[in-house]
Structure 1
Amino acid sequence: MNPEWYEQSFGEDYLIVYRHRNRAMATQEMQQVIQWLELTPSDHILDLCCGTGRHSITLAKQNLHVVGLDLSNTLLQRANQLTQQEGLNIPFVHGDMRQLPFVDDSFDVVLNLFTSFGYFREDDENQQVLREIVRVLRPEGRFLIDFLNREAVIRQLVPESEREEEGVWIREVRWIDGDFVHKTIWIRDDRGERRYEERVKMYTYEKMVDMMTQAGMSVTASYGSFRGEPYQKDSKRMIIVGKVRK
């Protein structure tokens, strides 16, 4: 069987394509998250799909207890390097978000950031991620899911873009096919040309809330960006905050 796109795309080249997602942005976003979720040093936090750990590191520097999980060993290795450079001690765990390697009721808070949801073709697989979030959260545990906003993506999609950064040429082609938004990425440098695919299943706000309700989640607030304005149909992002019902 061919590997899924998410098993191939989150490697060294991902760090080049998304290098603009920097620590300063993560710091700004986490200040809002700390406020929304009223995070305290007594909370045990899971950064689900943590990537290179930029959000985990930001939280740890605020004296918060955080564990990061990701499927990509490459990104986890980078997260460990950055954490050591900062003199921090953050556990980073390799795992699949559909089957989290944690016992029930392990965390007070689960964060799922930067559109790390909707990776799977079938609704039940995506809902399984929500069920796992509920399973590992303690009673009254809090969650935040930062997802793309379907309506904004459809309206604002840029079909094609090119850029060159530090001698690396990057071309991105984007399109919508049914409920999925696709992206093909070409990268060319002195090592030659590579190609990657990305695919995310888009959900309406109503469908997301319905899936969360079925999983045992209760939505308490929704925001349109990390600036904190309430979610609206034309919002840039769909940031959903809530608690689990156990």
Structure 2
Amino acid sequence: MSENKNLKSQIPNLKSENWFASWFDTPYYHILYKERNYREAQIFMDNLTHYLNLPEKAKVLDLACGKGRHAIYLNQLGFDVIGADLSENSIAIASKNSNDTLHFQVHDMRLPFDDKFDAIFNLFTSFGYFENDDDNLKTLIAMKESLSEYGFGVIDFMNVNQVIANLIPEEVKTVDGIDFHIKRYYIDDHIYKEIDFKDNGNDFHFVEKVRALTLQDFAELMEQAGIYLLEVFGDYKLKKFHKTDSERLILFFK
């Protein structure tokens, strides 16, 4: 019997215009991306917290935390961490790691928190998903309102120039016996990823859609939000950002 036999019953039946509200809440999302580099993520967290010189037991928000891989490691570094995500399933999984200084909650990133944080991290291209571009501005304003007076925000986004130039149009990725047929394309200022697969006789189709925000786009949004862009880096080792070559667009602001 396939270990994925009962996965279809876990797919939420959401009538939502937001693709991420359903796709991120499925077990298949976590299957497809299960091989992400955890050590790379930890090195990034080490570099981030060292660069920001965060005080011991600083209050940190991991915004759009998924199953909490960054939040858990940040807590291991000694910080008081809240992980927040729209996906109830992801938060349920992450919450198994909760302790006195690590908590998880379901939260819409467009809304500010009652708490104030010394640092807010939005990591691994967890921005630009909304159908309405105004929601990107709302998210930045919510982040600003959730920061303490001396707090820092960090957005780790893809470098869209590099991604579009190196887009792989089609590939098949096999994980846990499932063949994920993936198509990628760029249209109308968005990068799309179509994901089709079959499991236990059932056909599935999901689409990831992310606004292709450039450094200039972020700079304009941050100016509107009243945020001060302090520094820009191009990879997880915090090397200088290069428009055409850098893998990431990492923005530090307050």
Q: TM-score, normalised by structure 2?
A: 0.88
Deviates more, 1:133-142 or 1:36-45: 36-45
Counterpart in 2 of 1:213?
A: 223
Which residue identity lines up with residue 19 of structure 2 in the other structure? W
Residue 91 (structure 1) aligned to one of 103, 107, 126:
103
CA displacement at 1:30 relative to structure 2? 0.8
Gaps of 5+ in 1: none
What is the SS of the residue equivalent to 2:129? coil
What corresponds to 2:61 in structure 1?
Answer: 46
- Aligned partners of 2:101 and 2:29: how far apart in 1? 24
Q: Displacement, 1:228?
A: 1.7
Aligned to 1:237: 248
CA contact (8 A) 2:81 2:101 kept: no
The residue type paired with residue 98 of structure 1 is: R
Pair 1:79 & 2:94 matched:
yes
Could you tell me how far apart the structure 1 residues matched to 2:73 and 2:37 are?
Answer: 11
TM-score (norm 1): 0.91
Greater displacement, 52-61 / 166-175: 166-175
Structure 2 gap ranges (5+): 1-14
- Secondary structure (helix, strand or coil) at the match of 1:25 reads helix
Aligned to 1:4: 18
Q: In the alignment, is the contact (CA less than 8 A) between 1:48 and 1:113 conserved in 2?
A: yes
- 38, 42, 62: which one pairs with 1:23? 38
CA RMSD between the two structures: 1.7
Secondary structure in structure 2 of the residue aligned to 1:233: coil
How far the C-alpha of 1:155 sits from its partner, in A, is 0.4
Q: Is the 8 A contact 2:79 2:101 kept in 1?
A: no
Q: Does 1:61 align with 2:73?
A: no
Among residues 135, 140, 143, which one is paired with 2:145 in the alignment?
135
1:104-161 Cα offsets, whole Å, 9 max, x none, are: x611111000111101133321111000000111112101100111211210111111
Distance 1:179 1:3 in 2: 18
The amino acid that maps onto 1:198 is E
Q: Percent identity?
A: 33
Q: Aligned partners of 1:95, 1:207: CA distance in 2, in Å?
A: 25
Q: Does 1:163 align with 2:178?
A: no
